[in-house]
Structure 1
Amino acid sequence: MLHSQLVSISTLSDDDRGAMYHLLTHHFQGVTSDIFAQDLAHKNWVILIKNKQLQLKGFSTLQLYDVSIHGEDIGREDISVVYSGDTIVDPTAWSSATLPRAWIQSINQLRCPNKRLFWLLISSGFRTYRLLPTFWQVFYPRHDQSTPEAMQQLMHTLAQQQFGAAYDRETGIVRFPHPQKLSPILGTISPERRRDPHIHFFEQTNRGHSQGDELVCLTEICADNLTAVGRRMWFGRSLAA
Structure 2
Amino acid sequence: MCGLVIAGLPASCIRRDVMAVALVSVGLTDGTGGGEFASCRRRARWHNRFDKDSEKSGLNFSSSVSYSMHRGLYGRQDCVRSIADEIDSIHGVDTPVTDLSPSDRDRMFALYETYYEAVDRNGFERDLAEKDAVVIIRRDREIIGFSTYLVRPQTIGEDTVHYLFSGDTVLHSARWGDPMLLRGFFRAAGAAKARVGGRLFWFPIIGGHRTFRILPNFFRDFVPAIDGQDSARLQLIRDTIAAARYGDYFDPATGLVDFGPSQGHLRQQWADVEQTAVRNRFAAFFLRANPFYFRGVELACLAEFDASNLKRYGAASFAEGLNHGC
Tell whether the structures are fold-level matches, with TM greater than 0.5.
Answer: yes
Unaligned runs of 5+ in 1: 71-75
| d(CA) in 1 for partners of 2:277, 2:311 | 21
Amino acid at match of 2:166: S
Q: Which moved more, 1:190-199 or 1:8-17?
A: 190-199
The answer to whether residue 141 in structure 2 is matched with residue 57 in structure 1 is no
| d(CA) in 1 for partners of 2:310, 2:233 | 21
The structure carrying a bigger helix percent of its residues is 2
Q: How does 1:186-205 map to 2 (within 5 A)?
A: 186-189=270-273, 191-205=275-289
The answer to whether residue 92 in structure 2 is matched with residue 10 in structure 1 is no
Q: How does 1:139-178 map to 2 (within 5 A)?
A: 139-176=222-259, 177-178=261-262
**Alignment partner of 2:244: what SS?**
helix
291, 305, 309: which one pairs with 1:225? 309
**Alignment partner of 2:228: what SS?**
coil
* Deviation by residue 1:43-94 (Cα, 9 ceiling, x = unmatched): 1111101102x11111000011112211xxxxx1121110001001110111
- 1:21 match: 109
The structure carrying a bigger strand percent of its residues is 1
- 1:73 match: none
Deviation at 1:141? 0.3
| d(CA) in 2 for partners of 1:227, 1:40 | 30
| d(CA) in 2 for partners of 1:192, 1:8 | 35
Aligned residue-pair number: 234
- 1:81 match: 163
**Alignment partner of 1:58: what SS?**
strand
Aligned partners of 2:190 and 2:319 also within 8 Å: no
Deviation at 1:175? 1.5
| d(CA) in 1 for partners of 2:276, 2:113 | 28
**Alignment partner of 2:301: what SS?**
strand
- 1:103 match: 185
- 1:93 match: 175
Q: Which moved more, 1:115-124 or 1:180-189?
A: 180-189
111, 123, 135: which one pairs with 1:35? 123
| d(CA) in 2 for partners of 1:208, 1:178 | 11
| d(CA) in 2 for partners of 1:134, 1:102 | 16
Amino acid at match of 2:112: L
* Deviation by residue 1:98-140 (Cα, 9 ceiling, x = unmatched): 1000000011112236310011011110000001111111111
Structure 1 pair 192/209, CA: closer, same or farther in 2 (3 Å)?
closer
Deviation at 1:145? 3.3
**Alignment partner of 2:235: what SS?**
helix
Deviation at 1:164? 2.0
| d(CA) in 2 for partners of 1:164, 1:43 | 19
| d(CA) in 2 for partners of 1:80, 1:12 | 25
Percent sequence identity over aligned pairs: 29
**Alignment partner of 2:213: what SS?**
helix
Aligned partners of 2:226 and 2:282 also within 8 Å: yes
The answer to whether residue 130 in structure 2 is matched with residue 130 in structure 1 is no
Deviation at 1:161? 1.1
Unaligned runs of 5+ in 2: 1-85
TM-score in terms of structure 1 length: 0.91
Amino acid at match of 2:272: T
**Alignment partner of 1:153: what SS?**
helix
